[in-house]
Amino acid sequence: MGNSDWKDYFDQKAAKHGASVKSSDYFDDASFFMQRDNTLRWLGELEEKTILDAGCGVGAFSEPLTKHNTVYGVDFSAKSLEFAAARGLRTKMDDLTALSFAAATFDVVLCIGVIQLIEDHMSVLKELARVTKPGGTMLIQTLHKGSIQRKLLGLFERSKKFDKMYGMDELQTAFCQCGFEKFEFLKMYHPFTFVTTGSGEKGIGNLFCTSFAIKGRKKID
């Protein structure tokens, strides 16, 4: 699907499911909270930071961060942003390929479950990198290309809605190209609820990793 189709798709989801994480296409609350809580724990305690939730949907992922930080939520689905605003995010309708924020605005940039929808992911990564402060953190979570479960599902799936997936090394290279260093990974293994951390694509366990997050620090010149 192209950009305008995705915008309509998420507007319709939010009109139907409201503030629920179903509006952001999570399977159910349990899988959402498993991903969110593990990811935020791994990101670490944050206080008085300026944070961007890029492709925030209804804002449920970054809502806990609003308590001690200023969180901006950007999305192209106006309907989703209504719910994100009610959760305490400062919302802005924007396209992630051309953000209207000045360079080096944010201490932390999160982009959760979005780049699997994006045809040209480098255009988004470059924008997210541009608005990250030197020394700041960028964290991207997405689907893992090497997953055996996803390959098996792909054999039976009729709709290839989310068929863009990523290798860990591929995203690490993209982070490097955008001026980041000090990479770490968080790996998830649906339908299991445990997570592991470490470096990239090595090890047989990665064959069962269904989605992962990568975080890196923007170099200080």
Ligand X SMILES: C[S@@+](CC[C@H](N)C(=O)[O-])C[C@H]1O[C@@H](n2cnc3c(N)ncnc32)[C@H](O)[C@@H]1O
Would you tell me which residues interact with ligand X (CB under 6 A)?
A: 3, 6, 10, 24-25, 55-57, 60-61, 75-77, 80, 95-97, 112-114, 117-118
Shortest approach of ligand X to residue 154 CB, angstroms? 19
State the minimum distance, in angstroms, from the CB of residue 202 to ligand X.
27
By C-beta, is 123 or 199 nearer to ligand X?
Answer: 123
Beta strands 195-198 and 132-143, pairing class: unpaired
The smaller minimum CB distance to ligand X, of residues 22 and 133, is found at 22
CB of 111 to ligand X, least distance (A): 7
Q: Judged by CB, which is closer to ligand X: 22, or 201?
A: 22
* Residue partners of 213: CB distance under 8 A and separation at least 6: 39, 42, 112, 139, 140, 141, 142, 185, 186
Contact by Cβ (8 Å): 107, 51: yes
Contact partners, residue 79, CB within 8 Å, separation at least 6: 10, 11, 12, 14, 15
To ligand X, the closest distance from the beta carbon of 27 in angstroms equals 11
